[in-house]
A and B are shown apart, each in its own frame.
Chain A
Amino acid sequence: MKQQDNKKHLFDNPRNISIVIRSLYIICILLVLLDFVLHRHVMHEWEHLTGFYAIFGFAAFVVIVLGARQLRKIVMRKEDYYDVDD
């Protein structure tokens, strides 16, 4: 059942990975630039800030990662923590 896998896959080539990441950078830059060009109708005062959503998205993600690292310090136990021996 286990066949030998000699095939080169899509992301075995580091170039493809960097293409993906570079396109992400480019799209992100474009999205911020669009903020200057397009007229956004805003429902809320915070939204007036240029790039509000971009900054918020980035910051939220970092906060989540940092928060999760702290949470781990509190709640993480060994894998057999709940195991009962009987």
Chain B
Amino acid sequence: MWMTELPPFVPFFIAALMVLISSGWPRNLVLLVTPVLAGLYLWLDVTPGTVLTVPIIEFELVLMRADRLSLLFGYIFHIAAFIAAIFSLHERDTTQAVASQLYVGSALGAVFAGDLITLFIFWELLAISSVFLVWARHTERAIRSGMRYLVIQVSSGMLLLAGALLQYYQTDSLTFDFIGLEGISGWLIFIAFGIKCAFPLLHNWLPDAYPEATPTGTVFLSAFTTKTAVYALARGFPGTELLVYIGAVMTVFPIFYAVIENDLRRVLSYSLINQLGFMVCGIGIGTALALNGTVAHAFSHIIYKALLFMSMGAVLYRAGNIYASDLGGMYKSMPKTAVFCIIGASSISAFPLFSGFVSKSMVLAAMIEEGYDYIWLVLLFASAGVLHHAGIKIPYYAFFAKDAGIRTEEAPLNMLIAMGIAALLCIFIGTQPSYLYALLPWEVEFWPYDTTHVLTQLQLLLFAVLAFVWTNKIGLHPHEIHAVNVDIEWLYRKLLPDAAAYMYGVYKRIGYDFIESAHASLKATARTISRTRPGRFHLAASWPTGSMVLWIAVILGFFLLADALY
């Protein structure tokens, strides 16, 4: 009924345009109908093996490469876009509406990209479109945080481009298939993916920016960027053993930050890294069962994570506050949201009958099968950690704990519907996993519901709950307090600026007056420009892009040189 070769990003880019020129119910209609129609098209009309190429100059850009792996990510992205659209129906902000559609389209473009240049283009569009969801909060913190987010995301794209060009130079091919860690190009692409996938030490953009975005913006953000990176890793680096260890670290270290973090959406952001860790481990193991586990976990994760972010977004929207220390007792005002949140919490904790259980167990089973005994123990430990910060902390401190006396209305109807759909999906996947399993890219026999598995999982989780009750009772459990917990971002938010300020001080003392005068004249010019309206917003917003272009040149120059010296 439709043309069979329409790249999946196109409907969302058209929707972005339509959203831009409409408002009110027509706009809402576009936001709702696009993911449904585009999703149906993908489901009914696109079969694995469909390829669409567009020749540009001497290259063939593969705009669409549909196989079971890319299609599965395509399906879940449409579901996520639909749920997030319902959740944001009350929004009147044009910027956010347009940005969200471009963002979804870019994620789809990246997932269906068959060559590295197409991937690079959508990789960067993903960064640029999503930052507006952070900036839309309009707070000073959000603007600054978004700026850091943009610089880091764009750098990831630069590394990807450098790696792609180097690969082209060496192999004469830009195809995006297995890449592996052979040579510099492989490493560059690996690190580019790693930044977007929040590898340890490269992760800080995530807990920095996601909690600063708008309540609706974070729901979009949580679904697409990192899962595009998971897809890219699964495509380019399956069976790369290093990923097992990287993933294991990712599952563990965020737990401790999540326990002491007060901002509940930041807790969820750290928890997001922890969940990515399980997926990265699966890619590292690289067997059919493990890779199936990774994509199945990405699938169920997108839904329950969105559900958790939606429930916290609803609380933020109604109570105007998302700090664990200031909330409590919200179940009295928002009982439905509380129930949905508990369903999301049970899913992420992987309680039997909920979605996390049927997907995470595949990765754990694959891990034992391949003999990673100690890493398996680490993941088991991390599973108890998930239960702590996402399973208990989120619902407990927001909705129960000590009543903070906040009385609001229940979340708006559109938010409740969005959360309701996500909650139903969590339970559906958890109770009827065969439907999800049938979609998985590789043929593997796996069934999570046997006595051993259910019993051991319940023992693990419920004794962890017991430990929560006990530590809470004896006052061992850390209290929720307003504070900043420094992470690796300290390097670029504190050390670098302080060092720069110090160096400046030194220069000044030894009498470089001209620096001062030059600075003063620059400052005066900047002030004149910044008084104008475009200067205040647009120019200020684009300087990192300008400096990024400079850095591309530097990086490319470096690789040309490195290559010439070989």
A residues lining the B interface (CB < 8 Å): 1-3, 5, 7, 9-11, 21, 24-25, 27-28, 31-32, 34-35, 38-44, 46-47, 51-69, 71-72, 75-82, 84
**Contact of B455 (CB < 8 Å), options: A7, A38, A58, A66:** A38
Query: Chain B: how many interface residues by the 8 Å CB criterion?
Result: 54
Residues of A within 8 A of B464 (CB): 57-58, 60-61
Chain A nearest CB from B280 CB (Å) reads 20
Q: Check A32 against B459 for contact (C-beta < 8 Å).
A: yes
Interface of A is mostly: helix
- What is the CA–CA distance of A28 and B460 in the complex, to the nearest angstrom? 10
Does B90 belong to the interface (CB within 8 Å)?
no
| In the complex, chain B residues 373-408 whose Cβ is within 8 Å of any chain A Cβ | 373, 376-377, 380-381, 384-385, 387-388, 400, 407
**Contact of A56 (CB < 8 Å), options: B458, B460, B476:** B460
Residues of A within 8 A of B486 (CB): 75, 77, 81
- What is the CA–CA distance of A67 and B373 in the complex, to the nearest angstrom? 23
**Contact of A62 (CB < 8 Å), options: B377, B471, B494:** B471
Stretch at the interface among B199-207, B256-264, B284-292: B256-264
Q: Check B462 against A27 for contact (C-beta < 8 Å).
A: yes
Q: Check B409 against A43 for contact (C-beta < 8 Å).
A: no
Q: Check A71 against B260 for contact (C-beta < 8 Å).
A: yes
Chain A nearest CB from B310 CB (Å) reads 22
Q: Check B260 against A54 for contact (C-beta < 8 Å).
A: no
Residues of B within 8 A of A9 (CB): 329, 331-332
Per CB-CB distance, the 6 closest pairs between chain A and chain B, nearest first, are A61-B467, A60-B384, A68-B259, A57-B463, A57-B460, A53-B459
**Contact of B373 (CB < 8 Å), options: A2, A25, A44:** A44
Chain B nearest CB from A80 CB (Å) reads 8
Flag B463-496 by CB within 8 Å of A: 1 or 0 each: 1111111010000111000111111000001100
Q: Check B460 against A53 for contact (C-beta < 8 Å).
A: yes
Chain A nearest CB from B480 CB (Å) reads 11
Flag B255-298 by CB within 8 Å of A: 1 or 0 each: 11101100000000000000000000000000000000000000
Does B528 belong to the interface (CB within 8 Å)?
no
Given known A31-B459, A78-B484, contact A61–B468 (CB-CB < 8 A): yes
Which chain B residue lies CB-closest to A68? B259
B residues lining the A interface (CB < 8 Å): 144, 255-257, 259-260, 329, 331-332, 368-369, 373, 376-377, 380-381, 384-385, 387-388, 400, 407, 409, 450-452, 455-469, 471, 476-478, 482-487, 493-494, 497
**Contact of B384 (CB < 8 Å), options: A1, A11, A64, A68:** A64
Residues of A within 8 A of B450 (CB): 41
**Contact of A2 (CB < 8 Å), options: B259, B407, B468, B477:** B407
Q: Check A11 against B400 for contact (C-beta < 8 Å).
A: yes
**Contact of A82 (CB < 8 Å), options: B380, B466, B493:** B493
Given known A35-B459, A53-B456, contact A65–B476 (CB-CB < 8 A): yes
Which chain A residue lies CB-closest to B483? A76
Q: Check A79 against B494 for contact (C-beta < 8 Å).
A: no
- Highest count of chain A CB atoms <10 Å: which of B144, B331, B465: B465
Residues of B within 8 A of A69 (CB): 476, 478
Residues of A within 8 A of B497 (CB): 84
- What is the CA–CA distance of A5 and B493 in the complex, to the nearest angstrom? 44
Residues of A within 8 A of B451 (CB): 38-40
